[in-house]
Amino acid sequence: MNEFLEERAVRLGEYIIENRSTVRKAAKVFGVSKSTVHKDVSERLKNINSDLYNCVKKILNINKAQRHIRGGYATKHKYEMRNKKVKNKADM
Rounded to whole angstroms, what are the CA distances from 68 to 11, 15, 64, 78? 27, 23, 8, 15
Is residue 74 assigned to a domain?
no
CA distance 38 to 41: 5
Is residue 92 assigned to a domain?
no
pTM for this prediction: 0.73
Is residue 29 assigned to a domain?
yes
Residue range of the domain that includes 53: 3-66
Rounded to whole angstroms, what are the CA distances from 36 to 19, 40, 45, 63, 66? 18, 6, 12, 17, 22
Is residue 34 assigned to a domain?
yes
Is residue 11 assigned to a domain?
yes
Is residue 86 assigned to a domain?
no
The one-letter code for the residue type at 83 is N
CA distance 41 to 10: 8
| pLDDT tens-digit profile, the chain (92 residues) | 689 999 999 999 999 999 999 999 999 999 999 999 999 999 999 999 999 999 999 999 998 887 677 777 778 888 888 887 777 776 66
Is residue 73 assigned to a domain?
no
Give how many domains the chain has, as a whole number: 1
